[in-house]
């Protein structure tokens, strides 16, 4: 039988949080059954302890790779469980629990940082693609126009956003009618869309 004390609630949360990112199917099948979770830990305690010990000794949270089927919701549950654990109570109960908690906190932090970097990387890639498309449009507009490329782009983009992309000849016609006035040209270009 497991030892009882104020740390047992936190130890159970630590076990559940770890299993959420290492064996999510076990957590789903066990539900709230603490015995089933404990049974899984007992079956794989050697493997889990070796990974935790390696991560604690090396001070590297990368020591454990999450299961490939871990969902974002499971990561969020893991973070919530780790955040609710009283580290001081665990430290008083066991240095191993305390180290485990520190390690799992770092793993959760690294996951958040990695997710943030991925979204920023995707946004940068999308911005780069948009810039290339704009440069291509500007190059296609040519230098033989009496209007600035920035003005041509601004009016062309407004027309495109209004659902009426303009060909070069239409863009030049609109700009000539507006006598180079951006506001008037955008109004002319977008009124054609409606």
pLDDT of residue 120: 87
Number of H helices, E strands in the chain: 9, 0
Give per-residue pLDDT as tens, 61-94. Answer: 444 555 666 788 888 888 888 888 888 877 777 7
String of b and e for 51-84 (b: at least 16 CB within 10 Å)? bbeebbeeeebebbebeeebeeebbebbbebbee
Please state which of the ranges 110-124, 130-144, 163-177, 179-193 shows the lowest mean pLDDT. Answer: 130-144
The pTM of this model reads: 0.46
pLDDT of residue 41: 66
pLDDT of residue 2: 44
Give per-residue pLDDT as tens, 135-146. Answer: 777 666 555 677
Give per-residue pLDDT as tens, 7-23. Answer: 677 777 777 787 777 77
- Assigned token pair, 39: 């049974």
pLDDT of residue 66: 58
Task: Give the angle 120-124-125 at the CA atoms, nearest 5°.
Answer: 120
Rounded to whole angstroms, how far apart are CA atoms 79 and 113?
13
* Residue 149 CB contacts under 8 Å (≥ 6 apart), including other chains: 138, 141, 143
Inform me whether the pLDDT recorded for 60 exceeds 60. no
């Amino acid at each position: 039988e497991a030892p009882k004390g104020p740390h047992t609630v936190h130890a159970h949360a630590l076990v559940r949080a770890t299993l959420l990112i290492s064996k999510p199917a076990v957590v789903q099948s066990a539900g709230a059954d603490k015995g089933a979770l404990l049974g899984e830990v007992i079956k794989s305690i050697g493997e889990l302890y070796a990974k935790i010990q390696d991560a604690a000794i090396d001070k590297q949270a990368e020591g454990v790779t999450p299961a490939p089927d871990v969902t974002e919701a499971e990561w969020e549950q893991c973070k919530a469980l780790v955040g609710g654990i009283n580290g001081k109570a665990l430290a008083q109960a066991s240095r191993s629990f305390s180290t485990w908690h520190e390690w799992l906190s770092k793993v959760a932090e690294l996951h958040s940082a990695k997710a943030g970097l991925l979204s920023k990387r995707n946004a940068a890639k999308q911005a780069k693609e948009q810039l290339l498309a704009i440069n291509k449009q500007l190059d296609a507009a040519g230098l033989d126009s009496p209007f600035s490329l920035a003005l041509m782009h601004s009016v062309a983009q407004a027309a495109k956003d209004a659902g009426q992309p303009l060909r070069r000849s239409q863009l030049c016609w609109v700009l000539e009618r507006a006598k180079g006035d951006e506001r008037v040209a955008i109004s002319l270009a977008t009124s054609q869309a409606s």
